[in-house]
Structure 1
């Protein structure tokens, strides 16, 4: 199941195991340059074509954390959405993302602890059929109840 529709915040009372949200983004040279500027990570494998040709990647790649940021965007904007607080995230980088790649970030609800407002999420990013990043996130979800 894959929903690619931004539906806004889903409060914990309306969440169900198996819910999925995603977004797609083409990673541009400008994205990589802006991420390098904001993060202060100016590793030449991301920014210098000539340098990157001599690496195991044989060309420039996007920062892994730029790709992870797309997961954060799904969590913060769609599932659960606004008001969500990140409690933890595991990440395993599986393959490089290159300038011009279309990345799909996918988040799926694995489990819900309604009493503590904790949600466990499967997180994944793909370029085509290739999984480039995988992990799990734990978040504090917003509630629709007013105490």
Structure 2
């Protein structure tokens, strides 16, 4: 299940401090398995129930970067959207995401450098209202003007 705002592009000329966008997605076993295959991160804490039961998480968890990828999806599809170039991202993982969890991923504009088309955003992901990831992204936003 995926719940989000309309996709597209918001050009630098239309971005304002405080703007935000989000998506909601249930992280499935298939998502975790595909991420393991694509990333080659086959840590058993993500894939093996018996192994994961004996860890501090007491069960399988999604890859942290799979969760972080939802932030990337909001940035690349909604705010600023299509044509955005990632310049940097900081992340702090606060808690696990488990198979079946509904993840709420949100970005919010905190600073804009119009001359350089740079946008800074606070980012977070939450499960059941509890933040599991926080961070900040810096991106190059698309423009209607041609250089």
TM bin, normalised by shorter chain, reads: over 0.9
1:11-47 C-alpha deviation (Å, 9 max, x unpaired): 0000000000000000000000000000000000000
Equivalents in 2 of 1:140, 1:19: separation in Å? 16
Match of 1:144 in 2: 144
Query: Could you tell me which residue of structure 1 aligns to residue 29 of structure 2?
Result: 29
Whole-angstrom distance in 1 between the partners of 2:129 and 2:101: 12
The answer on 1:130 being equivalent to 2:116 is no
- When the two chains are superposed, the root-mean-square deviation of aligned CA atoms in Å is 0.8
Residue 6 of structure 1: CA displacement? 1.9
Q: Structure 1: where are the runs of 5+ without partners?
A: none
TM-score between both structures, scaled by the size of structure 2:
0.96
Give, in angstroms, the shift of residue 146 of structure 1: 2.5
The separation in 2 between residues aligned to 1:5 and 1:129, in whole angstroms, is 19
The Cα offsets for residues 87-133 of structure 1, whole Å up to 9 and x where unpaired, read as 00000000000000000100000010000000001010000111000
Distance 1:7 1:137 in 2: 19
Report what 1:106 is aligned to: 106
1:11/1:141 contact within 8 Å kept? yes
* Structure 1 contact 47–60 (Cα < 8 Å) conserved: yes
Q: Which runs of 5+ in 2 are unaligned?
A: none
Residue 69 (str. 1) matches residue 69 (str. 2)? yes
Output the CA distance in 2 between the equivalents of 1:91 and 1:54. Answer: 26
